[in-house]
Every structure is written in structure tokens, then in C-alpha cells.
């Protein structure tokens, strides 16, 4: 067990990553993605999102149930010649549930993490989000090392479910 008085700054993290919120996959045409993920694998359609500004037309499908459901966003660009190119790379980004997004962003910034422009804002699913940049720079050397990472504010139901699962695991380990 770590003595809190001797904990490093990284051990004093003011937030928790609760799990995977989404995986975003892009292609020039999302129809083949939908054929695989919905028709063959059986994920359930959950909604759509389209944004000219973000150059994305996406189908949102879901794996799992309840607070631990994971979105799989099937994306195609509105305009293949415009940026961002949501189909390059094909694994566009991963999203992580965060229990305190504002604290996470502030703490990560002080620890050298580079974020994409735009700050915290509403995402396609209605949750507050922000993105860790896939590449660092001299001022902010820490990054996703080639992967765009979306941090998503977890709603209360996800936080409670996570805490209940963690508590059950802790109590089970003591038995």
C-alpha cells in the first residue's frame, strides 16, 4: 500500500478512468462498417450524428447494456476532401469515461498533456468531452502517441455503477 504522504504527483490523480465509453471507426463509406457491426456482429443502432463543422456523418451503435454499454461510432466524412478526415486512420479514436472531466483536464495539462483545440464541449452523445491530441509538441510533450483519445464526463449512473462494481470486487477479495 502506498503511503499518501510519500505519493508522487501521478499517484495524487484527482480523477478516475472508469472504462471505455466508445470506439470510433471511420471509412469513406460507413455502409460496410454497418454491415459488419450491426448486421453480422449484432450491435444495436442507438442514434446518428452529423456535423458539417466536424466533417462527420456517423451511426452510433452499442455493445452491452446499461451503464457499461460501449458505443461504436461508425463514421464517414461529409466531404472526403475536407478536414478532419474522420476515416484516416480507420480507428479514429477511443473514448474513456472520466468521473471528473474538469479536474482531469486541469491536472493533465499541468502534467504536460496536449489537448486538441476546442476545450471541454458537448459531444455527439450529449456528454461533455475533450480530446487528448495524438501528437505532443515542445510545450506539451505528452500525447496519445498517435491515437486521438476522447475524455468523456461520465454521468452519475456510470459513476455509481462503477463504484458498486469496485465495492463488490473489494468485498469479494476480502472473503
Torsion sign, CA atoms 132, 133, 135, 137: negative
Q: Which H/E stretch holds residue 57?
A: strand 56-63
- Cell numbers 483536464 correspond to 105
pTM above 0.75, yes or no: yes
Q: What is the pLDDT of residue 171?
A: 66
Cβ neighbours, 10 Å, residue 49: 16
SS (H, E, C) 96-110: EEECCHHHHHHHHHH
Q: What is the pLDDT of residue 165?
A: 87
- Listed in sequence order, the DSSP H helices in 7-67 are 31-34
Q: What is the pLDDT of residue 11?
A: 62
Q: What is the pLDDT of residue 88?
A: 93
Torsion sign, CA atoms 33, 34, 37, 40: negative
- Listed in sequence order, the DSSP H helices in the chain are 31-34, 101-110, 156-174
Radius of gyration of the chain (CA): 18
> Which residues of the chain fall short of a pLDDT of 50?
1-5, 7
Q: What is the pLDDT of residue 173?
A: 57
Q: In terms of DSSP bridges, do strands 121-122 and 128-132 run parallel, antiparallel, or are they unpaired?
A: antiparallel
Q: DSSP letter at 143? A: -
For each of the domains in the chain, give its residue range(s) and CATH number, in order of start.
15-174 (3.10.180.10)
What are residue 153's DSSP bridge partners? 98
Amino acid at each position: 500500500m502506498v503511503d499518501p504522504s510519500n505519493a508522487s504527483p501521478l499517484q495524487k490523480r484527482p480523477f478516475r478512468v472508469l472504462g471505455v465509453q466508445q470506439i470510433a471507426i471511420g471509412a469513406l463509406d460507413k455502409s460496410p462498417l454497418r454491415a459488419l457491426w450491426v448486421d453480422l456482429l449484432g450491435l444495436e443502432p442507438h442514434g446518428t450524428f452529423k456535423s458539417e463543422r466536424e466533417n462527420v456523418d456517423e451511426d452510433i451503435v452499442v455493445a452491452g447494456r446499461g451503464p457499461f454499454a460501449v458505443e461504436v461510432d461508425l463514421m464517414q466524412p461529409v466531404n472526403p476532401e475536407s478536414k478532419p478526415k474522420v476515416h484516416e486512420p480507420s480507428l479514429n479514436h477511443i473514448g474513456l469515461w472520466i468521473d471528473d472531466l474538469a479536474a482531469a483536464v486541469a491536472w493533465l495539462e499541468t502534467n504536460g498533456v496536449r489537448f486538441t483545440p476546442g476545450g471541454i464541449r458537448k459531444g455527439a452523445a450529449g456528454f461533455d468531452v475533450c480530446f487528448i491530441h495524438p501528437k505532443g509538441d515542445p510545450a506539451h510533450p505528452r500525447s496519445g502517441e498517435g491515437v486521438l483519445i476522447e475524455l468523456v464526463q461520465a454521468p452519475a449512473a456510470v459513476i455509481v455503477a462503477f463504484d458498486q462494481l469496485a465495492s463488490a470486487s473489494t468485498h469479494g477479495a476480502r472473503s
